[in-house]
Amino acid sequence: MTVLITGGAGFIGSHLAEALLERGEKVTCIDSLNDYYDPEAKKRNITKALQNRNYRFRKEDILNQKALEAAFQEAKPEAAVHLAARVGVRPSLKEPELYTDVNIKGTVNVLQLARKYSVKNTIFASSSSVYGANKKVPFSEEDRTDKPVSPYGATKKAGELMCHSYHSLYGMNITCLRFFTVYGPRGRPDMAPCKFTRLIDQGKEIEVYGDGRTKRDYTYIADIIQGITAAIDRHLGYEVINLGNSNAVELQHLITAIEKELGKKARTKQAPPQPGDMPATYADITKARRLLGFMPRTKIEEGIKRLVAWYRENKDHT
């Protein structure tokens, strides 16, 4: 099977490519290597994959329809995993136009080509951010998601709706996976697990927004990859599925776990709650278990242990 991955040089995409190559699939990776964070980090992410003869990398922007079509035409993928997006809640407040262009127009470009080239299965990377300030926990796919609290969350919800329209019109198999705070080796440097690890190790202050009691359903990268590959292998029509660890962890607990692995104490600075931030995320994964056989196995303490070990080996680049 040939799988085309957009955003394939990023954190999740690079891990997914390696997992697919290990099981003998052919992978075409599309990534613009934008400067949301250091493009050199993304290049390092795909170093191992580039050594595999079944891997093809193309530096392209999903907003460039002509270049994107050339990639689809060359690869002739049986499955497409659309991970490329502008990410992050807080940056989306500053650049809503950019987030709208990339996350909505870019998604339409991918869907159009998946239809044109008869891709058998398409996976869309959505986010727990679509739940907004949902007070009912855990978050279920049946909950209302029409009140996102950030442009980022709104664009991801729009992407889900666009996916549904393509399924309805053209009978495409499209699975929307709502990721819950993915972390682990090669993780995004702006997200708390990697960011706090780096700052605590360097003896620098970390900002704790609000009272430090916000909760996130931190989900280890290997567990997320298991869920994505299961979705690739199943043609489900149209489905929206949570992928989370189903265990909400307080921010202070995360900090304590990092302190323990580093053997260093964090220097914290209290900061006001941030607009657009959700007080808690917590996934109901009943549907993921039923449809994908999804079974997250990595507790936060073990995940942080692996993250810190990776950080120590790569700290010159983080």
Cα–Cα distance, 53 to 38 (Å, whole number): 26
Compute φ and ψ for 274, nearest 5 degrees: -95, 135
Per-residue tokens: 182:
């993915």
Is 242 buried (19+), middle (13-18) or exposed (0-12) by CB count in 10 A? buried
**Active-site residue (options: 55, 99, 131, 152):** 152
Do the beta carbons of residue 125 and residue 177 sit within 8 Å? yes
The answer to whether the beta carbons of residues 316 and 202 sit under 8 Å apart is no
Q: Are the C-beta atoms of residues 158 and 104 closer than 8 Å to each other? A: yes
In whole angstroms, give the CA distance from residue 315 to residue 313.
6
Active site residue 152: yes
Tokens of 98: 């950019």
| Catalytic residue IDs | 152
